[in-house]
């Protein structure tokens, strides 16, 4: 006698408990059922109904379904960014959506608590990837023959952060990464990555943005001359990085009260991290004898001098803001760091000074009201990450620099200014119709199928109504609903003469009767008409 897994769940009561039965329990039920020791009880209809209703039909918090016009807009973002990556010589790779937990551990600083850990499956402890950078570094360590690569990767990542859905801050979201790995002359790859950031956002129609730029070595030097113990650098850096989300008084309070930094050190840090500018700030730092006496800070300032000359050559200096408050919380950055921000990135001004207690404390609560979109692209240099994984001394040094575009955050900005009603959810170009009447009228369904196939084979997207005898109004309404620009109409008399009528749709009061076209010339005529319509739009 056969028993299904569904029956086992029912017999064990696991459905009512909303759990999965243990393997020993499943084995026992299989054995008892097959030997006749157990008779499966019959459930009353009411009981069965209760069982089928014991779940909530929703997406998990921090996630959403994407469909229709939203998907069209998001695909446009993917295509635009990918074209920029390809233009700069990028090759694409893909990596697993989950990694061994030990691969991700210790790479993200305080944000490590946001990693989604998976249950033990097959004896390996795994976690969902937090970003695309660490998997890329692991990939390079596993492929030591790769000495230089420009790589791009478009994929989903996962973070158990507090969601802000209307601001594009989610727990499942896409990142679009471009990275340059290998030994090169100083700051050349870094400048090209910054150029890619500017090109990508401009191509997406986001004109008003700023690339905040800093250098980890300069920041480390500042902390050193301000008296921050070496072991506290990263946690103080994490506090400074919040200056775009909260006022200096709150950041100082976090450093002194929560992270035990002396008040004098915090005040001295404040004198530096409030500074921003361009090459003028660079000159100001060069005149700071105490800072220049620090080896780390001096090396960072030399890098920035070279970088600014390349930025000027690329013509993007007007998009750059040298900002000493930028820290980037991830532990693996070793050189320049940057974030692309817009006016929508910052929290609403009235929320900046609100008491923290007013912000929802539950990690599952949406905080869209209290936050901005945040950075829409970010990245930096990470020269030591590959070496953390490499087991070969020869390949242990693999300098890398990269940029990551946050698709959902970019989407939220573009959608806010886009007329979504003008976006078509499909790309149907031609709607094939049939008009006729009388007792002998068949609806021309086989004929419509034949014409549709003729258009498909010519690379023209086409649809028809799934009815054998559709009425004209039904067909026009269907074509109007999907926004098809052209109709091919099979008239009862014209078709017998080897002709169809081609008509432009969506003209309203300016509509005409269309043009009779021989079937053998249909494809060429439709192509010319579509080309004219595309040029007109």
Query: How crowded is residue 157: how many other Cβ atoms within 10 Å of its Cβ?
Result: 21
User: Is residue 331 annotated as involved in ligand binding?
Assistant: no
> In a 3-state reduction of DSSP, which class is residue 380?
strand
Report whether 492 belongs to an annotated binding site.
no
Q: What tokens were used for 359? A: 């912000």
d(CA 324, CA 312): 20
Calculate the dihedral angle through the C-alpha atoms of 24, 25, 26, 27, rounding to the nearest 10 degrees.
50
Q: Which residues contact 467 (CB under 8 A, 6 or more apart)?
A: 443, 445, 474
**How far is 390 from 33, CA to CA, in rounded Å?**
53
**Terminal CA-to-CA distance of the chain, rounded, Å?**
67
Burial 412-435 (b: 16+ CB within 10 A, else e): bbbbeeeeeeebeeeebbbbbbbb
Q: Measuring CA to CA, which residue among 459, 457, 477 is closest to residue 467?
A: 477
Taking the C-alpha atoms of residue 422 and residue 417, their distance in angstroms, rounded to an integer, is 12
Rounded to the nearest 10 degrees, the angle between the axes of helix 188-203 and helix 68-87 is: 150
Is 302 one of the annotated binding-site residues?
Answer: no
Please enumerate in sequence order all residues whose Cβ is within 8 A of that of 494, keeping only pairs 6 or more positions apart, or say none. Answer: 500, 501, 516
Indicate the pairing of strand 430-435 with strand 400-406.
unpaired
Angle at CA of residue 374, ends 333 and 163, nearest 5°: 105
Residue 332: phi, psi to the nearest 5? -85, -5
Tokens of 445: 């369904």
3-state DSSP assignment of residue 47: helix
Decide: residue 232, CB within 10 A, 0-12 exposed, 13-18 middle, 19+ buried: middle
φ and ψ at residue 203, rounded to 5 degrees: -65, -30
Could you give the CA distance from residue 119 to residue 112 in angstroms, rounded to a whole number? Answer: 17
Per the annotation, does 332 bind a ligand? yes
Q: How far is CA 42 from the centre of its chain?
A: 49
Neighbours of 370 (CB within 10 A): 19
Q: Do residues 481 and 464 touch, judged by C-beta distance below 8 A?
A: no
Question: 339: which strand partners?
Answer: 212, 378
Query: Known binder of ligand: residue 527?
Result: no
Query: How remote is the C-alpha of 170 from its chain's centroid?
Result: 10
**Which residue, 221, 133, 214, is CA-closest to 181?**
133
Residue 448 counted as an annotated binding residue: no
C-beta atoms surrounding 313 within 10 Å: 11
- Residues 133 and 328 sit within 8 Å (Cβ to Cβ): no
| Phi, psi dihedral angles at 87 (to 5 degrees) | -60, -25
> Is 132 annotated as ligand-binding?
yes
Binding residues: 131-133, 159, 175, 179, 328, 332-333
Residue ranges of the binding site for L-histidine: 131-133, 159, 175, 179, 328, 332-333
């Amino acid at each position: 006698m056969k028993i299904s897994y569904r029956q086992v769940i029912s017999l064990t009561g696991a459905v009512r408990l909303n759990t999965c039965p243990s393997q020993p329990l499943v084995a026992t039920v299989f054995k008892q059922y097959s030997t006749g020791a157990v008779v499966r009880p019959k459930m009353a209809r009411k009981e069965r109904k209760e069982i089928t209703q014991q779940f909530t039909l929703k997406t998990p918090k921090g996630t959403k379904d994407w469909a229709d016009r939203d998907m069209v807009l998001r695909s446009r973002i993917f295509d635009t960014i990918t074209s920029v990556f390809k233009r700069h010589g990028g090759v694409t790779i893909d990596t697993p959506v989950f990694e061994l937990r030990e691969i991700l551990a210790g790479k993200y600083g305080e944000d490590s608590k946001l990693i989604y850990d998976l249950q033990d499956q097959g004896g390996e402890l795994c976690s969902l990837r937090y970003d695309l950078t660490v998997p890329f570094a692991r990939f390079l360590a596993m492929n030591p023959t790769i000495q230089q690569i420009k790589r791009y990767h478009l994929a989903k990542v996962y973070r158990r952060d507090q969601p802000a859905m209307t601001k594009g801050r989610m727990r499942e979201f896409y990142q679009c990464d471009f990275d340059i790995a290998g030994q090169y002359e100083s700051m050349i790859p870094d400048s090209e990555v910054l150029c890619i950031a500017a090109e990508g956002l401009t191509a997406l129609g986001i004109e008003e943005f700023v690339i905040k730029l800093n250098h980890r070595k300069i920041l480390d030097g500042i902390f050193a001359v301000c008296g921050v113990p070496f072991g506290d650098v990263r946690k103080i850096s994490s506090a400074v990085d919040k200056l775009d989300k909260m006022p200096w008084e709150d950041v100082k309070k976090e450093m002194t009260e929560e992270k035990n930094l002396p008040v004098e050190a915090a005040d001295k840090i404040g004198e530096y991290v409030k500074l921003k500018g361009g090459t003028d700030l660079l000159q100001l730092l060069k005149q700071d004898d105490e800072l220049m006496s620090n080896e780390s800070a001096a090396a960072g300032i030399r890098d920035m001098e070279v970088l600014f000359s390349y930025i000027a050559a690329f013509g993007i200096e007007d998009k750059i803001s040298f900002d000493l408050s930028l820290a980037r919380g991830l532990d693996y950055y070793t050189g320049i760091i940057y974030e692309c921000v817009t006016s929508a990135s910052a929290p609403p001004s009235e929320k900046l000074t609100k008491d923290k207690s007013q912000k929802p404390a539950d990690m599952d609560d949406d905080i869209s009201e209290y936050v901005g979109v945040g950075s829409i692209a970010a990245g930096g240099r990470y020269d030591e990450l590959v070496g953390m994984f490499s087991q070969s001394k020869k390949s242990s040094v693999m300098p890398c620099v990269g940029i990551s575009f946050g698709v959902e955050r970019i989407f939220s900005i573009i959608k806010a200014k886009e007329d979504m009603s003008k976006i078509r959810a499909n790309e149907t170009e031609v709607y094939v119709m049939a008009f006729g009447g009388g007792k002998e009228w068949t609806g021309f369904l086989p004929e419509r199928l034949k014409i549709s196939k003729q258009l498909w084979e010519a690379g023209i997207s086409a649809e028809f109504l799934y009815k054998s005898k559709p009425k004209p109004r039904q067909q026009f309404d269907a074509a109007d609903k999907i926004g098809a620009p052209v109709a091919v109409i099979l008239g009862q008399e014209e078709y017998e003469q080897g002709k169809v009528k081609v008509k432009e749709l969506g003209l309203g009061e300016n509509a005409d009767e269309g043009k009779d076209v021989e079937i053998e010339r249909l494809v060429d005529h439709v192509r010319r008409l579509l080309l004219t319509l595309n040029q007109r739009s």
